[in-house]
Amino acid sequence: MIISEKDFKKILIGIADCIDKNVDYLTELDAEIGDGDHGANMNKGFKRIKQSLLESETKDIGEMLIISGKVLLNEIGGAMGPLYGGGFVKAGMALKGKSALDKNDVYTLFQSMLESIKSLGGAKLGDKTMVDTLEPFVLKYRESINTMELKDAFCAALSDAEKGMLGTKDLVSRIGRSSRLLERSRGHIDVGAASSYIMLESFYSSIA
């Protein structure tokens, strides 16, 4: 299986539509142990990404990711603007010039994004952040593509991402705004882990 540039644009637009459907859920999660802006910021960002992609004629998948990342970096506040924005730009730079993605390119995409988020934010696995969704995803995906095709490897990795996301509920936050709550941050799913999972799930439903 190969993801064409047309498919990829649809994947990104599908993510924007999925975020739109989940705004209230993300707002509620962020209100529990944060400041409640995550749903609105994600939605504003991805609406603008959708608009920019619809206006763009590019067939370069790397360029699509860079356009998306720059929207988040330049126009969206909160921790997610720079973290996801930087991640998208980094992934776009790694895939510059590609008009189709094979299973290894999809690994490059998520691996670059994860590395960028970790180096910018300094979070490690278990700190109760988006990394707890993305890192298990990347590790399982890398292992799975040795023996599986893209779609099946993605499905296996998505399941580990979901476990990681749900697992943030039992963790105490060690980084970002919610870390100020110390022990009181336990018992709530991390909102960034949730938004990362929503994006991955939407990506999968586009390719499945």
Positions in the binding site for Mg ion (CB under 5 A):
30, 34-35, 37-38, 78
Which of 62/78 has CB closer to Mg ion?
78
Q: Which of 11, 91, 153, 193 binds ligand ADP (CB under 6 A)?
A: 193
Which of 144/185 has CB closer to ligand ADP?
185
- Is residue 38 part of the contact set for ligand ADP (CB under 6 A)? yes
Partner touching 122 among Mg ion, ligand ADP, none, CB below 5 to 8 Å by kind: ligand ADP
| Three state DSSP letters for 65-128 | HHHHHHHHHHHCCCCHHHHHHHHHHHHHHHCCCCCEECHHHHHHHHHHHHHHHHHHHCCCCCCC
Q: Measuring CA to CA, how many Å separate 144 from each of 133, 135, 154, 166?
A: 17, 14, 8, 21
The minimum distance between CB 30 and ligand ADP, in angstroms, equals 5
* Vertex 74: Cα angle to 116 and 36 (nearest 5): 80
d(CA 12, CA 199): 9
Over the window 134 to 173, marking each residue x when it contacts ligand ADP by CB under 6 A and - when it does not, the resulting string is ----------------------------------------
- Is residue 176 part of the contact set for ligand ADP (CB under 6 A)? yes
User: Which structure tokens are listed for 166?
Assistant: 């749900």
Phi, psi of 102 (to 5 degrees): -100, -175
Partner touching 129 among Mg ion, ligand ADP, none, CB below 5 to 8 Å by kind: ligand ADP
Partner touching 131 among Mg ion, ligand ADP, none, CB below 5 to 8 Å by kind: ligand ADP
Closest CA to 176 of 127, 131, 132: 127
Residue whose CB is nearest to Mg ion in the complex, by number? 34
CA dihedral 96, 100, 105, 110 (to 10 degrees): 80
- Is residue 94 part of the contact set for ligand ADP (CB under 6 A)? no
Range in contact with ligand ADP (rule: CB under 6 A) among 10-18, 29-37, 65-73, 93-101: 29-37
